[in-house]
Amino acid sequence: MSTKPSDRFVLGTNPSIGDYVVLGVCPPGKALGKLIIGDNAIIRSHSVIYTGTKIGNDFQTGHGVLIREGNIIGDNVSIGSHTVIERENRIGNDTRIHSNCFIPEFVIIEDNVWIGPCVTILNVLHPPCPRFEDCARSVHIRKNAKIGGNVTIGPRVTIGHNSLIGMGSVVTADIPDNVLAFGNPARVVKPITQLTCELDYFQVPYEWERQQ
C-alpha cells in the first residue's frame, strides 16, 4: 500500500507496512478525523486501523490486528497478532498487549502495562444494555500492572498499580496496588514484595523495575 499521507491517514517517518494492511477505514455514518500514526511504525500484514485514532511513535502490531476508531495510543506500544481493540480506549506509553486479546470500548490502560495472551476484558454488566455508552465506561488498568495469560477482567473493575494477576484468573472486583491476585474469582494472595524467583535469577521478581 502507499505510505504517503492521504485524506484518511497520516504516517510519520520511517514506516514499515506489511501486505494487505488497511489504514483509515471510516465507520459508516461517522465523520471522523484522520488516523494519525507516529514515527517508526511497524504494522504487519492483514492489520486494519480505523480513522479517528491517534497512535504515537515506535508502534508495532503483529499480524491481523484490528484497531477501531477513536483510540488514543501512546509511544512504544506493541499489540500482538489477532488482537482486537474496540473504539475509544486510552492506552499509555510502553504498554505490551499480547496476541489474541480482546479490549472492548472505553478501557483505560495506563503506562507500562503488560497484558498476556488471550486476555479478555468485558465492560457491560447486563448485555445488551440501552445505556451502554454510560454503563461501559468502567475498566481501568493502572500503571505497571501485569495481567497473565487467559485472564478475564469483568465490568467495573480497576487493577491496581504494580499488581500482578495470575494466569487464568477471573477478576470480578477491584484489585489494590502492589499485590499478587489470582483465582476464580481472583483474590489477593500476597504483596508483590513477597514474591520469589523459583530459578534464583533474582532475589525478588521485578527488582529490575523502579517501583513507584
Q: Active-site residue numbers?
A: 126
Amino acid in position 63:
H
Burial 96-124, CB ≥16 within 10 A → b, else e: ebbbbbebbbbbebbbbbbbbbbbbbbbb
Query: How many residues belong to the chain?
Result: 212
First to last CA, the chain: 43
C-alpha cell at position 196: 520469589
CA distances from 46 to 102, 110, 121 (A): 17, 27, 23
- Helices in the chain by DSSP H: which ranges? 132-135
C-alpha cell at position 193: 514484595
C-alpha cell at position 69: 476508531
Beta-bridge mates of residue 23 = 49
